């Protein structure tokens, strides 16, 4: 899921720069270097994209067990 990670990275960068309200799906697609269709295949709506960001953040905060 390399493409999904690239999309999440792009969304995170845009949100940090402009705020969540100013970020649209087309801007995320452009910033990630993917077509809007590709973005929507990975994340069918803005809510799914935000959930992906939250899930990734939660995974980063959760300690890994040995």
pLDDT-derived band at 64 (thresholds 50, 70, 90) equals confident
The pTM assigned to this predicted structure is: 0.86
pLDDT digits (tens, 9 = 90+) for 10-30: 999 999 999 988 899 999 999
Residue 42 neighbours by CB distance under 10 Å: 19
Domains of the chain by start residue, with CATH? 2-60 (1.10.10.60)
Q: What is the pLDDT of residue 66?
A: 64
Q: Is 13 exposed, middle or buried (0-12, 13-18, 19+ CB in 10 A)?
A: middle
């Amino acid at each position: 899921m390399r493409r999904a990670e690239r999309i999440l990275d792009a969304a995170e960068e845009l949100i940090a720069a402009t705020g969540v309200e100013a970020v649209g799906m087309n801007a995320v697609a452009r910033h990630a270097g993917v077509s809007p269709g590709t973005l929507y295949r990975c994340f069918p709506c803005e809510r799914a994209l935000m959930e992906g960001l939250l899930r990734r953040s939660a995974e980063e905060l959760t300690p890994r067990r040995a």
